[in-house]
Amino acid sequence: MVSPCKIKEGAVEYSIGKFDGRTVVYDFPKILIYLNAKGKLLFGKDFKIYDEDHDILLKLSHYYIRDFENCKKHGIEPDKGLLLSGPVGCGKTSLMKLLRHIVPHQRPYQIIPSRNVVFAFNHIGYRTIEDYGNGPFFCFDDLGVEPMGRHFGKDCNVLGEILLSRHELFIKHGIKTHATTNLNAQELEELYGNRVRSRMRELFNLVAFDGRSGDKRQ
């Protein structure tokens, strides 16, 4: 049996916990070692895990490994999706790309730039809303900075409509949706309206970087 807490990257095997044949006990320092190594493979040799991000990484790790006890302490519901918020350049997208690798046995989600969804709508039309609203396992990146959609002269708040469909998908089938955003709750409500914002509360766990987090791309 392949242990769910052993992950092979090339010739190197990383252990991120202990498996007794029934349950896994994860080890956060070992998870950090793996994430740092995997980050360098994904994003280049200059990638690093910053000390100031350990708290948010701990919360997110508990979510991904479905550590129910610690999720409860953080006010996180493992069956809901993630809305990861924070300033520009703090590393939101990188973490969403990276953390899914600590649970290789779970089906991965696609990370889709929100603006690309709108560009697809402008070209294809309402089928785009159906495709992204009903398809499984998406993370919408940079939610809230996408332009208004326009198809054959009609304006559409594309991501707002998709989020309404994703909420229905979640309620009926338990399929999660993830997103990253630079905006706060008030800004999201102004952009998408109270109805969508209300659905987002049911759809997402809000996990936020410290507002003072620096731009790591500089």
Tens digits of per-residue pLDDT, 59-98?
999 999 999 999 999 999 999 999 999 998 889 999 999 9
Non-local (6+) Cβ contacts of 123 within 8 A are none
Residue 124 domain flag: yes
Residue 162 domain flag: yes
pLDDT of residue 145: 94
Residue 213 domain flag: no
- Reply yes or no on whether the pLDDT at 180 is more than 80: yes
Handedness of CA 62, 19, 99, 161 (dihedral sign): negative
Residue 125 domain flag: yes
CATH number at residue 192: 3.40.50.300
DSSP state, residue 85:
E
Residue 23 domain flag: no
Residue 200 domain flag: yes
Residue 198 domain flag: yes
- Reply yes or no on whether the pLDDT at 2 is more than 80: no
**Domain range holding 175?**
78-208
Residue 99 domain flag: yes
- Reply yes or no on whether the pLDDT at 217 is more than 70: no
pLDDT of residue 136: 86
Give the CA distances from residue 131 to residues 114, 127, 158, 161, in Å, rounded to whole numbers and listed in that order: 14, 6, 12, 12
pTM more than 0.95:
no
Cβ contact 64:103 at 8 Å = yes
Q: Which two tokens stand for residue 89?
A: 């350049």
pLDDT of residue 212: 67
Q: Which residue has the higher pLDDT, 33 or 19?
A: 33
pLDDT of residue 89: 85
Query: Looking at residues 196-218, what average pLDDT do you find?
Result: 84
Tens digits of per-residue pLDDT, 107-162?
889 999 999 999 999 999 999 999 999 988 999 999 999 999 999 999 999 999 99
In the chain, % of residues over pLDDT 90: 83
Q: How many domains does the chain fold into?
A: 1
Query: Looking at residues 40-67, what average pLDDT do you find?
Result: 94
Ramachandran class of 152: left when φ > 0, alpha when ψ lies in -120 to 50, beta otherwise = left
Q: What span, in angstroms and rounded, lies between the C-alpha atoms of 51 and 31?
A: 14
